[in-house]
Amino acid sequence: MIDVAPLTLKSLTETDSDLAVFAAEDAGLAGLKALSAKEKSDLRAALEREGFKGKLRETARVDVPLLGRTRRVWAAGVGKRKGAGSESFRRAAGALLGAARGKSAALAVLCAEQTQAVAEGLLLASYKYEEYKKGDADKLQSARLVASDAASAAAAAKACAKAALAAEAVALARDLVNRGPSDKTPLSLAALAETFKGSGVTVTVIDKKKAEELGMGSFLGVARGSAQPPAMVHMIYKPKGGSKKRVAIVGKGITFDSGGLSLKPAASMIDMKCDMAGAAAVIGVFKVIARLAPKAEVHGIFAATYNMPGADAYKPGDVLKAMNGKTIEVWNTDAEGRLALADALCLAVQQEPQAIVDMATLTGAVVVALGSKVAGIMGNDRRLLAQVSAAAARADEPVCELPLVEDYKEGIKGDIAEILNISKVKGEAGSIVAGLFLQEFVDGRPWVHLDIAGTAFWSGEGPYGPKGATGQPVRTLLEWLGSL
């Protein structure tokens, strides 16, 4: 990713950097305190000649005499001024990066508002996944947010630092999700987590033998069909000086989901390397958590395994026993994520947290209901739901609450075990039913579930990122943890 940092106005006049500006459709250019009235007029006229209107993500390039020399100036639109919040500026910055990355070596961005969103847009849009194939080399290496005075320079520095932290966590989550499924075994994810040890973070890897001793029968049932051993990983961050607050974030880590014996159609397997996006989000957060320095003790747990139709694969009709003693009748081995999460949530409960937030690419039903831009959110505690929803709003990672309708619990009452892993009522409320299943394993503790099946992976180019993994909901988690 590129380097993004603040730049003083005095330093700007001493460089020959290309400039970047933002404009609204109905209000014109903004943040141009550094320019004289004539320079502003000349820039507006040049952009008008190019037909630039300031529509959201529209870009244009002009050459104009500014600040003592002729400079290349990039303009990006934020749409209507009234509705131009942080997401508009983040998307405009992403478009700006896309337009300039092959043509400018450095940008000086004249931006007097939404500096963190602008920095995030530039950073996130500059991400490339090049583990297997190198893309075209980018000319653009740095962007500087121009500050008019010392106070705004300090604010810009803080915004850039926060954006860089979020982008680093998102980039790691994207890398992990984008990686080929055979190259991200459960044990390799565990080994990566172990590199976070120190700086207030401890890591415990629960291998298959230990999981058996702990009674993680639900998780281990999913793992039975794979030749690769599973891993349940427990990371703990403790702030210096301790804290009375304790929370847990829990992620689904199915490193490839074939559907097991309830085999998916071939076309449905193409993107199933993304089925560990919940675990990737937890890992991304813990890479930066010591620098985020939340005031709460944070437990990060993820359950990592393949779901494969191997010789000893679990079968429809099997009964599994979770860590809390609940028995689960398996009706569909492709509803495996909730089974892995069941024991991960039980482990989280044992830590006695005041709040649990889990995230998982859990159901296709949530994509039908909410599409690829909005995650489903469910929970048993209004205060925690409000906190996480507010964090998602600040991060511009939209969520929509789905109700945990008690009547739907009738559908997951087992015939020979306590609960079923899918509902007897076919084709109805799949995401809610999955949430009701997970609720059985939180022991009444405040809990929120994020179903990110639609939002974790872009099938096409995103507003500030390439096709593939999005890194959601990393920024939501960072916002929430930072607010505790």
DSSP one-letter string for 3-72? EEEEEEHHHHHTS--EEEEEEETTTEEE--TTS-HHHHHHHHHHHHHTT----TT-EEEEEEEETTEEEE
The side-by-side arrangement of strands in the sheet containing 327-329 is 319-321, 327-329, 419-420
Cis, peptide link before residue 473, omega less than 30° from 0: yes
Q: What is the pLDDT of residue 373?
A: 96
Is residue 338 part of the annotated active site? The answer reads: yes
Residues 212 and 332 in one domain: yes
Q: What is the pLDDT of residue 136?
A: 85
Helix (H) or strand (E) run with residue 95 in it: helix 86-100
Pick out the chain residues at pLDDT < 70: none
Residues 190 and 101 in one domain: no
Q: What is the pLDDT of residue 14?
A: 84
CA count, 13 A, side-chain hemisphere, 247: 24
Q: What is the pLDDT of residue 31?
A: 82
Residues 450 and 475 in one domain: yes
Number of domains in the chain: 2
Residues 123 and 203 in one domain: no
Q: Which of 164, 193, 214 is the last residue of a domain?
A: 164
Residues 247 and 380 in one domain: yes
Amino acid present at 448: V
Residue among 104, 102, 101, 121 at smallest CA distance from 22: 121
Residues 457 and 352 in one domain: yes
Residue among 285, 283, 281, 275 at smallest CA distance from 308: 275
Q: Which of 135, 164, 193 is the last residue of a domain?
A: 164
DSSP assignment letter at 149 = S
Choosing from 184, 338, 445, 475, which is the catalytic residue?
338
- Is residue 393 a part of any domain in this protein? yes
Residues 297 and 445 in one domain: yes
| Domain encompassing residue 121 | 3-164
CATH number for the domain spanning 145: value is 3.40.220.10
- Is residue 145 a part of any domain in this protein? yes
Question: Residue 81 in 3-state DSSP?
Answer: helix
- Is residue 170 a part of any domain in this protein? no
Concatenating the DSSP letter of every residue in 224-254 gives TT-SSPPEEEEEEE--TT--S-EEEEEEEEE
Instruction: Report the distance separating Cα 207 and Cα 340, nearest Å.
Output: 14
- Is residue 203 a part of any domain in this protein? yes
Residues 82 and 186 in one domain: no
- Is residue 174 a part of any domain in this protein? no
Q: Which of 116, 140, 164 is the last residue of a domain?
A: 164
Residues 159 and 192 in one domain: no
Q: What is the pLDDT of residue 199?
A: 80
- Is residue 171 a part of any domain in this protein? no
Amino acid present at 317: G
Residues 225 and 371 in one domain: yes
Residues 302 and 449 in one domain: yes
Question: Residue 325 in 3-state DSSP?
Answer: coil
Residue among 343, 341, 360 at smallest CA distance from 278: 360
pLDDT tens-digit readout, 39-89: 999 999 999 999 999 999 999 999 999 998 999 999 999 999 988 999 999
Residues 121 and 229 in one domain: no
- Is residue 134 a part of any domain in this protein? yes
CATH number for the domain spanning 198: value is 3.40.630.10
CA 402 → CA 93, 366, 379, 420, distances in Å? Answer: 32, 9, 9, 21
Q: What is the pLDDT of residue 32?
A: 87
Angle between helices 277-292 and 186-194 (to 10 degrees): 0
Choosing from 53, 246, 264, 409, which is the catalytic residue?
264
- Is residue 92 a part of any domain in this protein? yes
